[in-house]
Amino acid sequence: MWKAYNFPVFLLSNSSTLALQEVALRNEKRKKSSTVDVADFDLVMQTTKSGTRDSESCLREQTCLPLGGYSVWSALPPIIVSSSKKAKPVILTVASMDAASLFRDVSIGADSPISGLISLLAVVDALSRVDGLGDLDKQLVFAVFTGEAWGYLGSRRFLLELDQHSDAVSGLDLALIETVLEIGSVGKGFTQDDNTFFAHSTTESATNGTLSALKDALGSLKTQSIKISRASKSNPGLPPSSLMSFLKKNPETSGVVLEDFDAAFTNKFYHSHLDDLSNINSSAIVAAASIVARSLYILASDKKEIKNSVLNTININASLVEELLGCLLSCEPGYTCELVNHYIAPSTRCPSHYVGVVMGEPSSQPYLGNVGDVSRFVWNFLADKTAIPSKNMSSTCPKGCSGNGEMCVKAETDGKGVCVISTTRYVPAYSTRLKYESETWEVLPHNSSDTMGEADPVWTESNWDTIRLRVYTVQDTGFDLLVLLLGITVTVLSYIIIVISKAFITKALKRD
């Protein structure tokens, strides 16, 4: 995907493919004809402007925009910022929502990473139905990052926002994050012979508690068809994951990445447009979500003895997983599905998980027109599932949601929405080496003391219009040459006739 080519490559849609096949058949049938149908692509990229050779120069000339979008995090139960109670240690569960491929508009990423996202959403749904979460010793927090396929933009920016104590992470303290559990690629877990999920980590001692919780959770499921195993010690490190950003920030971070592979990727379509719905198994996602949901409850209970009867109340809604698969990974029904339309008014039908570009000024309360469909759906879903009812149920939403911790969900669907109490926030996701000021982007110099920013490449995308395919008829080259020769012949003959006529007329005039 990162190789540079000296020629453009286009992926045709089904309709464009059929149109060009018809053109090719017409050309095949008219071999002796003087005309032929040709096709070309209408595409103008503004970064071809002289002097815009890199991200810094094109941002200065305003011919490109930085890659990025909006990550989302949410607490279950909500964190009341003004509360006098001592803040609890945090169990942070993360997943990614963006994918990449050679073709930007078909970045589906079914196994990597959307299977992990769907698993996380199913976990939140299951835990939201459990009573007494507020009485547990630790706070559950869920984060869904975007931009991870492009230098881990989301997790890097999230950590920087935590350092700066910005409004986007109000209520969350980096020092309180005790454990990070990342749900990676889990959609192919049941395509293996042994149906095993692997827990990847860097330090054995720091993750023993998390691995123990995962195994206890698996034991409570009472199934022989699923296994949990620690990834091989011979692995050189973690697989590509957001946890790497946390470890870069603090090497002592306790964290585990749950994957469907051990030493080598099982997803042969990683970062390809072929990583689609047919590449994953919904049963594997349900199994992974079941293990994670129960292990989070165990971890949040802080080693207290938990009865199986309590864990048995934590069950994944398999129908929700199936619905999410259809909504997020297929055009049928795609974003027009009932679940997505329950929360937002999507801008398109067919899903693509390309990160996109940052439009306008980054903010923790962005203009929703600048936020992608997936981010808005995840925000509304998490805000709804992690919420407690507000006393202002009859208030006008969103203007009436002015109480402590109140926010408006489902406002896009009917223009009214519902007031709830929830700790769910947007976090801008873009390069840590970028600064937005006076409606322009500035690239900051490398900071040698900043371990997070020193390797940030600052990805950007050229300004461009919609790519269009044009088909039109042109004359055959041989026919054009014939017309040219005829034209030359006529011109020469005309010249000879004029010369002869002139000489004849001159001679006739002299006689007279």
pLDDT score, position 103: 86
pLDDT score, position 83: 63
Three-class secondary structure of residue 251 per DSSP? coil
Same-domain pairing of 208 and 331: yes
What is the C-alpha separation between 257 and 243, in angstroms, rounded? 7
With a cut of 70, say whether residue 266 has pLDDT above it. Answer: yes
Sequence-distant (6+) residues with CB within 8 A of 77 are 133, 134, 386, 388
How many CB atoms within 10 Å of residue 258?
27
Domain final residue, candidates 387, 404, 423: 387
Cα of 333 vs its chain's centroid, Å: 19
pLDDT score, position 41: 73
455 is a domain residue: no
pLDDT score, position 78: 93
Nearest to 324 by CA among 335, 315, 311, 316: 335
45 is a domain residue: no
With a cut of 80, say whether residue 321 has pLDDT above it. Answer: yes
Q: Higher-confidence residue: 102 or 145?
A: 145
415 is a domain residue: no
What is the C-alpha separation between 405 and 423, in angstroms, rounded? 7
pLDDT range class, residue 451, cuts 50, 70, 90: low
- How would you classify residue 171: left for phi > 0, otherwise alpha for psi between -120 and 50, otherwise beta? left
* Distances from the Cα of 234 to the Cα of 200, 237, 262, 263, angstroms: 11, 9, 10, 8
Of 95-99, 157-161, 454-458, the least confident? 454-458
Q: How many residues make up the chain in this entry?
A: 512
* Distances from the Cα of 5 to the Cα of 9, 28, 102, 415, angstroms: 9, 30, 11, 47
What is the C-alpha separation between 512 and 509, in angstroms, rounded? 5
- Asked if 21 and 457 count as a contact pair (C-beta separation under 8 A), the reply is no
Same-domain pairing of 376 and 493: no
345 is a domain residue: yes
What is the C-alpha separation between 48 and 8, in angstroms, rounded? 14
Of 9-13, 30-34, 409-413, the least confident? 30-34
With a cut of 60, say whether residue 1 has pLDDT above it. Answer: no
Same-domain pairing of 155 and 267: yes
- Asked if 267 and 275 count as a contact pair (C-beta separation under 8 A), the reply is yes
- In tens, the pLDDT along 459-486 reads 999 888 777 777 777 776 777 788 889 9
231: amino acid identity, one letter: A
Q: At what angle do helices 282-300 and 115-127 cross, to 10 degrees?
A: 50
pLDDT score, position 40: 75
36: amino acid identity, one letter: V
Please, is 305 exposed, middle or buried when counting C-beta atoms within 10 Å of its C-beta (0-12, 13-18, 19+)? exposed
Averaged over 49-70, what is the pLDDT? 86
With a cut of 60, say whether residue 57 has pLDDT above it. Answer: yes
Most confident of 35-44, 54-63, 135-144, 232-241: 135-144
With a cut of 60, say whether residue 265 has pLDDT above it. Answer: yes
Percentage of the chain beyond pLDDT 90 is: 50
pLDDT range class, residue 54, cuts 50, 70, 90: confident
Three-class secondary structure of residue 389 per DSSP? strand
pLDDT score, position 303: 66
- In tens, the pLDDT along 170-180 reads 989 999 999 99
With a cut of 80, say whether residue 313 has pLDDT above it. Answer: yes
pLDDT range class, residue 182, cuts 50, 70, 90: very high
What is the C-alpha separation between 154 and 166, in angstroms, rounded? 15
Domain final residue, candidates 341, 362, 387: 387
The structural domain count of the chain equals 2
Q: Torsion angle of alpha carbons 231, 205, 137, 157, nearest 10°?
A: -70
Nearest to 93 by CA among 150, 145, 157, 161: 145
With a cut of 90, say whether residue 165 has pLDDT above it. Answer: yes
pLDDT score, position 457: 79
32 is a domain residue: no
pLDDT range class, residue 427, cuts 50, 70, 90: very high
With a cut of 90, say whether residue 50 has pLDDT above it. Answer: no
Percentage of the chain beyond pLDDT 70 is: 91
- Write the DSSP symbol of residue 205: G
Domain final residue, candidates 387, 413, 445: 387
Look at the block and give the residue holding tokens 């923790």.
364
CATH number of domain containing 371: 3.40.630.10
Most confident of 446-460, 465-479, 498-512: 498-512
With a cut of 90, say whether residue 9 has pLDDT above it. Answer: no
pLDDT score, position 206: 61
Averaged over 193-206, what is the pLDDT? 79
pLDDT range class, residue 400, cuts 50, 70, 90: low
Of 10-19, 47-56, 308-317, 328-337, the least confident? 47-56
Two structure tokens written together for 493: 């003959």
How many CB atoms within 10 Å of residue 225?
10
248 is a domain residue: yes
Give phi and psi for 58, each to the nearest 5: -75, -30
Sequence-distant (6+) residues with CB within 8 A of 54 are none
Most confident of 10-24, 114-128, 404-418, 441-455: 114-128
How many CB atoms within 10 Å of residue 202?
19
- In tens, the pLDDT along 351-369 reads 999 999 999 999 999 999 9
pLDDT score, position 335: 94
Two structure tokens written together for 470: 């044009």
Three-class secondary structure of residue 411 per DSSP? helix
Cα of first residue to Cα of last residue in the chain, in angstroms, is 86
Same-domain pairing of 486 and 348: no
Q: Is the pTM of this model over 0.75?
A: yes
Of 75-89, 94-108, 128-142, 377-391, the least confident? 75-89
pLDDT score, position 450: 65
Same-domain pairing of 105 and 204: yes
pLDDT score, position 89: 93
Order of strands across the sheet with 177-183?
Answer: 227-230, 196-200, 255-259, 177-183, 90-96, 139-145, 69-76, 423-429
- Asked if 491 and 483 count as a contact pair (C-beta separation under 8 A), the reply is no
Please, is 438 exposed, middle or buried when counting C-beta atoms within 10 Å of its C-beta (0-12, 13-18, 19+)? exposed
Same-domain pairing of 171 and 318: yes
Q: At what angle do helices 115-127 and 373-385 cross, to 10 degrees?
A: 20
Q: Higher-confidence residue: 73 or 438?
A: 73
Look at the block and give the residue holding tokens 């109490």.
421
Same-domain pairing of 492 and 380: no
180 is a domain residue: yes
pLDDT range class, residue 29, cuts 50, 70, 90: confident
Give phi and psi for 426, each to the nearest 5: -85, 140
What is the C-alpha separation between 185 and 271, in angstroms, rounded? 12
Same-domain pairing of 247 and 373: yes
* Distances from the Cα of 229 to the Cα of 232, 293, 315, angstroms: 9, 17, 22
Average pLDDT taken over every residue of the chain: 87
Look at the block and give the residue holding tokens 């007279």.
512
DSSP strands (E only) in 19-86: 35-42, 64-66, 69-76
pLDDT score, position 493: 93
Instruction: Show the domain range for 503.
Output: 477-512
